[in-house]
Amino acid sequence: MAKQCERLIDYFNNQLTEREREEFELHLIECASCQEELAELEELTMDLPLGVDIVEPPEGMKARVLSNVTNGNSDMEDAQSSDKTPKVTDIKDKKDIPPLKKKKSWYKPLIAATLTLSLVGNGMALIYLNQEEPDSAEPSEPSEPEQEEVTLDTLSQKHTLQPSEGVSAQATALMIEQNNNINLVIQAEDLPPLSGEEAYQVWVLEDGKPYRAGTFVSSEDGSGAVSYVMDYGEEYNFDTIAITKEPNANSQQPQGDILLSSPL
């Protein structure tokens, strides 16, 4: 019932399909509320011409209309192909129209607003349908996905670090070429435990001068690893790699003893 009541405005605007119109008309016979609202709509539209100012037709329009009438059916096609003359509807003087019965003056503005929204909505639907592409349009071919540039890592050096005296740890150093840079990968085992802020620091040396090459901490079983890109801004000829145990991870120079080392 409520669904049929919602179709009142579209029924009044003649926007329903034939089947929907027939269903609503059957509903209208039994629904007093829709009958009353439909009567209000009809009364509202009858009242609309009273707010329109009388418009005088353009000069010469009367002569053109009479000329088209006298031409007969033989000139009908020419008249249709020419510029269409706007229709002019005479509006009777207000004094000739009997006063309308005032009913529910609060209801008319609401009906007018609803009627306007219904017409606007139907117009937007037509515009949307006209803009849709036909089903027969050929689907565009999917573009091929761009292939990502593949870079290959190359192992350039591998070194086994030797433990210092009294140290049982083991470590391996890999130097891998990646995008024109050298990535130093350290993997160590059996490292002595750390306490507090202590950390393991990797160094590469050139003629005894150390350069930082990664910091890491070990797990409970003494294993640890670090990966460090050796991008120092200049070319160096490093000759030694070493791992030290530092009091913290911020050491800029070796402070602890060397645990493992290897020549390069």
Per residue in 211-233, pLDDT (tens digit) is 999 999 999 999 999 999 988 87
* 208 and 163 fall within a common domain: yes
Instruction: Point out the domain boundary residue: 68, 99, 122.
Output: 122
Long-range residue pairs from 176-179, CB within 8 A, at least 24 positions apart, any chain: 177/153, 178/151, 178/153, 178/229, 179/151
Output the pLDDT for position 118.
56
Burial string for 103-128 (b: 16+ CB within 10 Å, else e) reads eeeeebeebeeebeebeeeeeeeeee
Instruction: Point out the domain boundary residue: 74, 106, 122.
Output: 122
Confidence band for 169, pLDDT divided at 50, 70 and 90:
very high
In a domain, 63, yes or no: no
Q: How many domains does the chain have?
A: 2
* 107 and 169 fall within a common domain: no
Domain that holds residue 7: 2-54+91-122
Confidence band for 85, pLDDT divided at 50, 70 and 90:
very low
Confidence band for 153, pLDDT divided at 50, 70 and 90:
confident
Question: CATH number for the domain including 213?
Answer: 2.60.40.200
* 193 and 106 fall within a common domain: no
Q: Compute the C-alpha angle 68/71/77, nearest 5°.
A: 75
Q: What is the pLDDT of residues 1-59, one digit of tens each?
A: 678 888 889 988 989 999 999 998 998 899 999 999 988 888 887 755 554 455 555 66
* 97 and 194 fall within a common domain: no
Determine the Cα–Cα distance for residues 11 and 23; give it in Å rounded to an integer: 11
* 257 and 168 fall within a common domain: yes
